[in-house]
Chain A
C-alpha cells in the first residue's frame, strides 16, 4: 500500500500543489518564529556574555532613601566609593576593580532634535582611562576619551543613529534642561542594550558623578579576577565586606544567567504571541487539507473500490491515504522550513527597522526547531486527512463495477447540523452571559465562548451556505445572467466543500473584524477620554519615568499668557486589603496644586468639596469608582501605606469624592501631603492653561522654559488624541499583518477548491462550451463561483466578528474604568473588507478559470 500511496502522491502533483502550499505557509510561520527566536536569543546571549567576559563579580549599589524626605533631583546617593573599591581590590584573587557611574540620558538627533534610542536603554557611563589613557572596556574607534566636563564620547552605533560626527555639539538630557557637550570620541562596545537599539554615551567620571550621583560615589563596581579564582567564593568575600542594604553582589556567572533569563523571558513572550498566530494559520490549513483529501477520495472512489475488490482491507485503504498525507506533509514541511528561515531573517530586519533592535549574529537553526516544524506539518496534515480517510474506507468494492458514474451518495447532513446548532447556541449563550459581565477577569470566558461560537458556526456552515449563497446567486444571476446562475448552482452543489472553503476564510475574517470593531470602539472611547475634563491647553510630560525637574517647572508659570500651571506628581500607596475588602490593593495618590486644579480640569464633586480638601492637612479627594471599590465616604478616616519608608501606616481623611476623571485618576491631594511620600521629587506631568489657547509659538516658549530637553512632550488636545489613536493603530496593524498569513492560506484554499472543481467538472464544461458558452462566460462562471464562496466566508466571518466584538466589548463598557467604551462600527473599514473578499474571490479564480476556459472541448466531452 506504500507504493500506492506514493504513486498517488506523484500522480496528483498538480492537484496537491495548493494543499502543499497551505501546509508550507503554516509550517513556515512556525519555523520562522522558532528560528527567529533561537537566532535572536543566541545573538543576545553571546553579546551579553562578551560584555561580561572580564566581570568576575559585580557590585551594584542600592538606592538609599535619605531620612529627610525625597531626593530633590535625579541624583541619588550610594554607599560605593573609592574606599570600598580599594578594600575589594585588596582581596586575594582580585586583578582589578572598575568603578562605574551609570545613569540614563536621552540623546537628541542631530538633524531634528527628536529623542533617539529605546526608552529605558539609553545609558550614560563614565569613561575610565587606564594607564595608557584609554578605557579597555570601551576601545576607541576614533578620537579620544572625554576628559572634561564639556566633552562626550558615543558608541559607534549610537553616533550613527543620532547623526553626530567628531567635533559636533551633542545635545542630551536627563530630567533637567538639555545638556550640550562636544563629541570627542567614538568607542566600540559589546553591551547588549546598545546592540538592541539603546544608546550609550560616555562622560568623564567627575561629570557623570555630578549628573547622576554625588562626588566620589559610584553605582557599580566590576571586579576582575586573577585566573583560577573562584567567582562564587570571591563574590562571597565581597559580600562580607558590604552591608546587604548598601549593595547587591553577584558573580559574573550569576549575572550572565540572570541576563539570559530576562532575555529569554522577553523572547518567549514574543515567540508565544507569534506561535498563536502560526496556530491560527495552521488551523486554516487544516480545512484546506481536509477538503483536498475529501475531493481526491471522491475522484478516486472507483480506484479505491477496485483496490478493495482485489482484496485490500479497509485498514489498508485508510493507511494508504494517511501515508499519502504524511508524505505530503513531510515534503511541504521541509519546504516550509526553508521558507521559514527566510521569514526569520525578514522578521529580524523588519522588527529591527521598527526600533526593536537585535544584536547581530548568525542564523541559528536548531535541531529542535527543525524537528518541531516538521512534526507540526506532518501531524497537522495527517490529522486533517483522517476524516476523509474514513470516508475512503467506506467505499464498497462493488462501486468498481458500476459502469455509469453515479454521483456519490450524499450522507445526510442532519447530524452535523444538529451538532452545529447546539454548539452555536451554546457559544451564543456564553457570549450573552459575557455581555452582562465586566472587567478583563472574564476574558478567558469570553475567549472560550468565542471559540465555541466559531466552532459551532463552522460545523453549521453547510446549512448556512444554502440561504446565503442562494441570495448571492440572485444577485449574480441578475447581473451576469446564465454564468451567474451556473456559478450559484455550482457553489450550492456540494455544501460541505463550499462550507469548508468558506470557513477557512471565515476564521481570519472573524478575528480581523472582531479586532477592528473593538479597536475602533476603544479608539473612540480613548479619544473621548483623552481630553475629557481637561481644561488645560497643554499637557507636558516625558516618556517613562524620567519626569520634570520641579524648580524648572516653575518657569512655565512665568510665561506671559499662561494663566494656570499645575504640576502633577504621584505616590503609590497600598490599602489594607482586609479593611477594604476584595477590592483592596494599590492606588495612586496625585499631588497637585489645589488652588489651581479646578482651572486645568473639570471637577465635579459627589460628596464633600475642594474646600474640605484644602482645609485639612491630611485630607485627600478620591474618585467615585475608587471610593466605591474601597467603600470610602467623605469624612472617613482611612489608613494606607506608602511603601519604601519602613512602610508606616498613614492615616488620611477623605475630604471629597469626585466623579471619575482621567486626568486625576484614583485620588489627589496637595503636593504638601504627597511630597514626603515620593522617592524622588519631580513632576510627572504639568497641566498648563493659557488665556489664548494653544499655539506653536507658545509651545516653543514652554519648551524653552523647560530647558529645551529632547525628552519633553508638549501636547495640546489634538496631539493627545493622535497619540492614543496612533498607539492603537500600530498594534492593530501589527495584528493585521500576523493574521494576513491565515487569510493568504484561506485564499490558497479557494484556489484549491476551484481547481479541483474545474477538474471534476471537465465534461460539463466541455458540454457547455459545445452548446455555446464562450470562454469568457466559462471564466466568468468560475470567477463568480469563487466570489460567491469568498463572500460567503466573509459574510460569516464579519457577522460573527461583529457579534463577538459586541459581546466582548460589553466587558469593557460595563467596567468602571472604561465607561466611555461604546460599540462603534467602523463602516469604512468593514466595507473595505467586503471589497477585499471580492478581490480575493476574483484573484483566487484567475488560474482555475483560465484552466477551465482552455479545456479542450472534445477531450472534455470524451473524458471518462
Chain B
C-alpha cells in the first residue's frame, strides 16, 4: 500500500472500539492573504476509548494544532471536532472552558503546575475549580500509581522535573476525565524520568480504562502507545497499530525520505 493510495478520511478506530473523540474534515487556517498558513487540511481521525493514541509528525506538521483543536483550546476553521457526542465548534468560550474542566485532562510539556500550590493541591485543582467532590479512592489510587505519596505536601519548586510531570499526570487522571491530552509530556525530561511518565500514562489506559491522546516527536515515546497517527503538512498520512519504537522510527524515515524527494 503506497502512501498516496491511502484515502484521507480512512483513519477510523477499529471496528470493535468505541470512539472517545473524532475529527471530521477538520481544517485550521492561520492568517490571511500572503501570511495564510494551513495548519490542518481536512483531517479526519477517530480516537478510540480506553486506548493510548500518539500523534506524531515532524515540527510544523500540525500535530500540536490538531491536539489544541481536539481539546477545545483552539477554535477550528472548518469541519468538526467532537469529544464524545459534543461538537466543539458549536460551543462558546464559557462552554468550552466547562468542557475542558469537566471532561478533559491535560499534561503540557512544561509549566503544568501552579508554583503557589502544593503537589496535592495541584492534583485536585480541576475538582476545586469545578467545585466537585473529591473522589478519595480514585485520588489515592492515582497518587499511588504515580508514586507521589510522600511528596504531596511539597511545592513544585521542591520537586524534580520528572516528579513535576508525574504530578501533572496525576492531576489529569484524578478528575477522571473522558480524555487526556498530553503535549510532549516528556520533552523536558531525561530518558529515565520520561520512561516513568510514559509508563504511568500507559498504565492509566490499561488499569483505569483512561483514554489518552499524546502529541510527540519522539519515536520512543510513541512506542508506548496502542496506535500512532502520523501527520505531515497538516494531513494525516499514515497510522500504525501496536507500534514499537523501531517501527515508528522506520515510518518516520520513510516520510522524511518521501518529503525530500517530492
Contacts and interface: CB of A to CB of B under 8 A. Distances in A.
Interface residues of B, number: 30
A772 B68 contact: no
B126 interface: yes
Contacts of A770: 71, 73, 100, 106, 108
B97 A764 contact: no
Contact of B111 (A407, A489, A861): A861
Interface residues of A, number: 26
B128 A489 contact: no
B116 A490 contact: yes
A498 to B, nearest CB: 13
Contacts of A404: 161, 188
A636 interface: no
Given A769-B97, A770-B100, A407 B115 contact: yes
Interface string B112-135: 101111000000011011110000
A482 B116 CA distance: 13
Nearest to A491: B116
Given A767-B108, A858-B73, A861-B108, A775 B128 contact: no
B116 A771 contact: no
A529 B73 CA distance: 71
Contacts, number: 72
A774 interface: yes
Contacts of B106: 767, 770-771
A773 B129 CA distance: 6
B76 to A, nearest CB: 13
A779 interface: no
Contacts of A53: none
Contacts of A861: 108, 111
Given A486-B114, A492-B116, A763-B111, A771 B128 contact: no
Listed residue (B74, B98, B101) with the most chain A CB atoms within 10 angstroms of its CB: B101
Contacts of B130: 772
A776 B97 CA distance: 11
A399 B93 CA distance: 39
A493 B97 contact: no
A771 B68 contact: no
Nearest to B109: A861
Listed residue (A493, A771, A775, A776) with the most chain B CB atoms within 10 angstroms of its CB: A771
**Binding site of A, secondary structure by majority: helix, strand, loop or mixed?**
helix
Interface in B161-212: 161, 171, 188
A768 interface: yes
A481 interface: yes
B97 A482 contact: no
Given A481-B128, A489-B117, A857-B73, A773 B97 contact: yes
A558 B230 CA distance: 114
A507 B87 CA distance: 55
Given A764-B111, A770-B73, A774-B98, A493 B129 contact: no
Contacts of A771: 100-101, 105-106, 125-126, 129, 171
B74 A482 contact: no
Nearest to A777: B129
Interface in A195-224: none
Interface in A753-770: 763-764, 767-770
Contact of B116 (A493, A763, A773, A777): A493
B245 interface: no
B102 interface: yes
B112 A489 contact: no
B112 A767 contact: yes
A485 to B, nearest CB: 7
B97 A774 contact: yes
Nearest to B65: A858
Contacts of A492: 116
B260 interface: no
B111 A772 contact: no
B91 interface: no
Interface in B123-164: 125-126, 128-131, 157, 161
Given A489-B117, A772-B102, A482 B111 contact: no
Given A486-B114, A775-B93, A858-B74, A407 B157 contact: yes
Interface string A501-540: 0000000000000000000000000000000000000000
Contacts of B36: none
A795 B62 CA distance: 53
Contacts of A486: 114, 116
Interface in A320-369: none
Contact of B98 (A482, A489, A772, A858): A772
A182 B161 CA distance: 97
A777 B126 CA distance: 13
A481 B115 CA distance: 19
Listed residue (B111, B128, B188) with the most chain A CB atoms within 10 angstroms of its CB: B111
Interface in A465-513: 481-482, 485-486, 489-490, 492-493
A768 B97 CA distance: 10
A486 B121 CA distance: 11
Listed residue (A404, A482, A493, A858) with the most chain B CB atoms within 10 angstroms of its CB: A482
Nearest to A485: B128
Contacts of B128: 481-482, 485
B117 A772 contact: no
B126 A772 contact: yes
Contacts of B188: 404
B77 to A, nearest CB: 15
Contacts of B171: 771
A789 B148 CA distance: 34
A770 B105 CA distance: 9
B179 to A, nearest CB: 13
Interface in A772-786: 772-777
A482 B114 contact: no
A36 B48 CA distance: 77
Contacts of B93: 774-775
Contact of B114 (A407, A768, A776, A857): A768
A489 B108 CA distance: 23
Contacts of A775: 93-94, 97
Nearest to A492: B116
A775 B130 CA distance: 14
Nearest to B93: A775
Nearest to B105: A771
Interface string B54-93: 0000000000000010010110000000000000000001
Contacts of B100: 770-772
B128 to A, nearest CB: 4
A858 B125 contact: no
B129 A772 contact: yes
A763 B111 CA distance: 7
Nearest to A861: B108
Nearest to B111: A763
A770 B96 CA distance: 10
Listed residue (B102, B108, B161) with the most chain A CB atoms within 10 angstroms of its CB: B108
A764 B110 CA distance: 11
A772 B101 contact: yes
Interface string A834-864: 0000000000000000000000011001000
26 contacts: A404-B188, A481-B128, A489-B114, A489-B116, A764-B111, A764-B115, A767-B106, A767-B108, A767-B111, A768-B129, A769-B97, A770-B71, A770-B106, A770-B108, A771-B100, A771-B101, A772-B97, A772-B102, A772-B129, A772-B130, A774-B93, A774-B98, A776-B94, A858-B68, A858-B73, A861-B108
Interface of B: 68, 71, 73-74, 93-94, 97-98, 100-102, 105-106, 108, 111-112, 114-117, 125-126, 128-131, 157, 161, 171, 188
Task: List the 8 closest A-B pairs by CB distance, nearest first.
Answer: A772-B101, A489-B116, A774-B97, A482-B128, A763-B111, A772-B100, A482-B129, A772-B129
Given A404-B161, A768-B129, A775-B93, 15 more contacts: A481-B131, A482-B129, A489-B114, A492-B116, A763-B111, A764-B111, A767-B106, A767-B112, A767-B114, A771-B125, A773-B101, A774-B98, A774-B101, A776-B94, A777-B129
